[in-house]
Structure 1
Amino acid sequence: MRDNGLTRRSVLSGAAALLGGAAAGTTIPTAVAEPGTATAVPPGPVVRPGDPRYPDLMTGNNQRFVARPEYVKLITSTADAENAVRDAVRAGKRVSVRGGGHCFSDFVCNPEIEVILDVSAMTDVYYDERMRAFCVQSGARLTNVYEALYKGWHVTIPGGVCWSVGIAGHVAGGGYGLLSRAHGLTVDHLYAVEVVTVDERGGVRTVVATREADDPNRDLWWGHTGAGGGNFGVITRYWFRSPDAHDTDPADQLVSPPSTVLVSAVEFDWDELDQASFTRLVQNFGTWHERNADPGAATTAVSSLFNVSHRAHGSMGMFTQVDATAPNARRMLDDYLAAITEGVAARPRPAKAPIGELGKLPIDLGEPRELPWLQAARLVGTNNPTITDPTSRGVHKSAYLRKAFDDEQCAALYRGMTGEDFTNPDTMLVLLSFGGRVNAPERGATAHAQRDSAFKMCLQTFWNSAEDDDFHITWARETYRGMFAATGGVPVPGDHADGCYINYPDNDVAAPEFNRSGVPWQALYYRENYPRLQQVKKRWDPADHFRHALSIQPAR
């Protein structure tokens, strides 16, 4: 294992000490120290069928997908991960890797999986003086990362909203959030990644890859800037440092979030919306983002989540955040809200109901309020009971958009959201702000290829009974296919759309009965970056030990 000689100042302690036990009959190897530390980290337990913990570890956040592995290995350190991979490879076992458990598809949990490698106990966040970067272990959850970075050094990464999302998969797929229009994607600030890899002979080793131009392992870093998780090995640590950081002060190495933000939450009553008003409202959102997608736009301080909920929900809600320290912040927010509601008969009112997957807000934000940034992040990040319901089942379909939806797309969406035979209130099209600084890098600078989009969407619905799977999945398929009927049922890259988001994976796009575009699914997720990703795969996982339904295939 590579020793990096790290100097460690831990802010958040991991859960490793709580996981020192093992299932009956399991041999526990000697505890080892993490690189650069003198502290021994006990290896995590091996959980097998019959262990009372096993049922909780067979699945993730989406109960549609269940595995029945021979065992689940809870990993507590890089050395533990390396040993776990070596054991599985020697035994010829099919493995998958789990961090936060928020995968929307069956990448981690499916009947073919024999061993789940679970890194969720690895949660440390600290400043690494030698790397001059912030180190985050791969099991950390987003809210814990934000709190550690902000409280310790007044910095952050521009990541997602949901508190319980694991950092490993989120970053690997090109994570984004409410600060991304101003600061880019999480991968735009990724300096290095530590990965346990397997070579063509089954040899297991741990590799640290950086973005440095002369790093011989740089291609492995690049592969973790948008390919998604579960492709090249087991991620154990990330290091973050902004590309324009040159000082040695930790507080200058990453993005500083605004000290305060203006937040607004409004809803539109479905009873006041006919098809014309619905269409205008949805198109207004797209048009504003289309006009403000440039990296240099003054409005990069504005970011919004618009939950176009099903009529059964009663209303559609929109949460908007603006950097309160930006010049003319209140004017930008007022202008944004005016643009979204222009020509719409339904008038916005203070949000009283849950806003899609966000729960009912505890405060009235009909009149915008200025809040400390971390408080605002907690307000939305810890208040999403629909998507974090541990008993729920869901289906999710994504797209990047360059332009507002046209009339035909809005008509298909309106049919899906008003049909009398479908009345699930936990159904929504989430429209999410994109563009701005996200669009600054060149398309090939990272594996994340969508660098000129204006906004993105996630069509999703949630339910609790397996008996209702076909009903809900069919609804999602028909609505999505209708929205992209002009391009074979999927968002083919072109003037209006730019493919799909790998962190909202959808196995349907790889099936000819649902993707009739003639465009392969790899082009939808990775555009022209896919052949390069295949070369990365060939070098670092040539035997395809780490694979799933939409994984990168090694180049031949």
Structure 2
Amino acid sequence: MAYTPTRRQLLRAGGATAGTLALGRRRLAAAQSTVDPDVLIYPDDPLYADLRHGFNLRWIGSPAFIALCHDSAQVAQTVQHALDNGLRITVRSGGHCYEDFSSGNDGGVIIDISPMASVSHDAETGMYAVEAGARLLQVYTALDEQFGVTLPGGSCSTVGAGGHITGGGYGLLSRLHGLTVDYLHGVEVVHVTNDGRAEIVTVTRDSMDADEQDLLWGHQGGGGGNFGVVTKFLLADLPEAPAEAHLMFHGYDWSTLDQASFRRFLQNYGNFLAEHSGVDSPYKGLFPLLGLNQLASGHIGLTAQYVGDQPELLAEFARAVSDGLPSPTARRIMVGHHRIVSQSPEIQSMSWLTATRQMSGTGPSRRGKYKSAYMIEPFPDEQIDVIWEFLVNPAVPNPSSLLQVDGYGCQVNAIDPAATAVPQRSSIMKLQYQAYWTDAADDDVNLEWIRSFYTAMYGEQGPMPDSVMDGCYVNYPDVDLIDWPTLYYKGNYARLQRVKARWDPLNIFNYQQSIRLPEDGATPTV
């Protein structure tokens, strides 16, 4: 995000630097509580304007103050201060929430944990500790360079660990190594007790208490900000970081595609993943991303990464997917969040960390709307026809709108749906509908495009679990969803409600799609 470097520089300069920016009212308010006065950022502070929004510029909040917390004690103090003053609490790590669940907290307090960004290793226990404010690229770099291990997580570099991991977490190594939460051994959380006290707890897989086990399980895909403020993750048995990665960037000019060749392209892609997404597939080291950009962009982008000792499989994948299609062209392209610096039909090999950095680009902060879907089977023909129509004949063309189709499955699907809070463990593709724009005057037309597209694909209820679809990804939140408990959590929602009742009984941590207390309803249909 655009404000990150400035904020980091200020924070790294120490608390005194931040304190020199404080005005009288800020110090007076802090003096009435136990919160460090250098933590609280009020509207008259020069930092406030940059900190009141995240990645999605549709959500620019007007909180009473923002708390930049450096450790769990400061988080607990801020939570207690908010409770004592009747202020609503939302939590922000990297600021990439697609909806207004964190930054859109007018009159409340945003607890921003981005200063908490350390990555460490305990040689005695073998645990890796990642503070929840660390950005993903920071995490990968530290784990690789210091310890020779990695974490299968997302490829957008500035996403914060706090939201990413609690929502499940996946990325270019997930077909090979599974989801991020499959390696979660423990969490440190600031929660609120039944009598209104902020309390710091640490729970691990070794905990003997069933409630503590439930709290850990709830953070393995239940979504961020539901049970408290997670401040630290403990990770175990992390895989060795790959030494090398092989990348492929293909572009297909829209001018060379007709509806028949487009249909063949999507059939090729879906059929390949249906055949090669088993747990023991030799292609589990392959992760493809298909960027189906609108016609106005001029092209479709296909990106793939392979790690393993059979790099020739990447070329075999390319041949299978492009069978019967025009030859790919060399061009600079952008596939969703993935900014491709240089693009060539030829396979490029480089160190894995270099590849990760190249694939970790993120676009500028803009206005946006997003939707998601998991697929168990390839695209039905009628869905392909809908995709064609909304990409080729939109009411108002937007070269920054697309449908991204990621490969899925393999090791992800080796885990039981109830073992973590992520129930989607049989999918072969993961879809993300994306629309980006800069002017608020264009909100309505872009929202209409993505909503109409989604409804034409799945109907008013969305991609309800059936023989083809398998719900939605909680880390791509969408307030348009009607039965979101089923779409996100399926049969795991009832247990998440029990976790909520035990660890946030006063429902202090709430937003439009937060886990409901059992008595509040919102029970899934399946």
Q: TM-score, normalised by structure 1?
A: 0.87
1:161 aligns with 2:150: no
CA contact (8 A) 1:44 1:75 kept: no
Which of 504, 510, 513 in structure 1 is aligned with 2:476? 504
Query: Quick one: structure 1 residues 227 and 378, their matched pair in 2 at CA, closer, same or farther if it must change by over 3 Å?
Result: same
**Distance (Å, rounded) in 2 between the aligned partners of 1:111 and 1:172:** 20
Which of 343, 351, 356 in structure 2 is aligned with 1:377? 356
Residue aligning to 2:317? 336
Residue aligning to 2:467? 495
Residue aligning to 2:339? 359
**Distance (Å, rounded) in 2 between the aligned partners of 1:478 and 1:356:** 20
Structure 1 residue 128: Cα displacement? 2.5
Structure 1 residue 131: Cα displacement? 4.1
Structure 1 residue 426: Cα displacement? 0.6
Structure 1 residue 431: Cα displacement? 0.6
Alignment root-mean-square deviation, CA? 2.1
Structure 1 residue 356: Cα displacement? 4.0
CA contact (8 A) 2:340 2:359 kept: no
Unaligned runs of 5+ in 2: 1-7, 520-526
Query: Quick one: structure 1 residues 355 and 555, their matched pair in 2 at CA, closer, same or farther if it must change by over 3 Å?
Result: closer
Query: Quick one: structure 1 residues 120 and 111, their matched pair in 2 at CA, closer, same or farther if it must change by over 3 Å?
Result: closer
Structure 1 residue 358: Cα displacement? 2.6
Residue aligning to 2:506? 543
- The secondary structure found in structure 2 opposite 1:60 is coil
Count residues in correspondence: 504
Which of 524, 527, 536 in structure 1 is aligned with 2:487? 524
Residue aligning to 1:250? none
Which of 432, 436, 449 in structure 1 is aligned with 2:423? 449
Structure 1 residue 352: Cα displacement? 3.0
CA contact (8 A) 2:192 2:199 kept: yes
Within 5 A, what are the aligned runs for 1:395-414?
395-414=369-388
Residue aligning to 1:18? 14
The one-letter amino acid of 1:503's match is N
**Distance (Å, rounded) in 2 between the aligned partners of 1:396 and 1:420:** 17
Residue aligning to 1:347? 327
The one-letter amino acid of 2:282's match is A
CA contact (8 A) 1:396 1:504 kept: yes
Query: Quick one: structure 1 residues 477 and 113, their matched pair in 2 at CA, closer, same or farther if it must change by over 3 Å?
Result: farther
Structure 1 residue 477: Cα displacement? 0.2
CA contact (8 A) 1:352 1:361 kept: yes
Query: Quick one: structure 1 residues 112 and 230, their matched pair in 2 at CA, closer, same or farther if it must change by over 3 Å?
Result: same
Structure 1 residue 198: Cα displacement? 0.1
Unaligned runs of 5+ in 1: 1-11, 33-40, 243-253, 511-519
Residue aligning to 2:3? none
1:478 aligns with 2:452: yes
CA contact (8 A) 2:156 2:337 kept: no
CA contact (8 A) 1:142 1:165 kept: yes
Bigger shift: 47-56 or 232-241? 47-56
CA contact (8 A) 2:176 2:410 kept: yes
Structure 1 residue 209: Cα displacement? 1.2
Which of 23, 41, 46 in structure 1 is aligned with 2:40? 46
For residues 305-361 of structure 1, what are the alpha-carbon distances to aligned partners after superposition, in whole Å with 9 as ceiling and x for unaligned? 1101111000011111111x42x321x1122111211233x2222343333443342
Structure 1 residue 79: Cα displacement? 0.7
- The secondary structure found in structure 1 opposite 2:283 is helix
The one-letter amino acid of 2:281's match is A
**Distance (Å, rounded) in 2 between the aligned partners of 1:496 and 1:14:** 49
- The secondary structure found in structure 2 opposite 1:208 is strand
**Distance (Å, rounded) in 1 between the aligned partners of 2:457 and 2:138:** 37
For residues 351-388 of structure 1, what are the alpha-carbon distances to aligned partners after superposition, in whole Å with 9 as ceiling and x for unaligned? 433334433423x431102110000000110x332xxx
The one-letter amino acid of 1:436's match is C
**Distance (Å, rounded) in 2 between the aligned partners of 1:159 and 1:213:** 26
Q: TM-score, normalised by structure 2?
A: 0.92
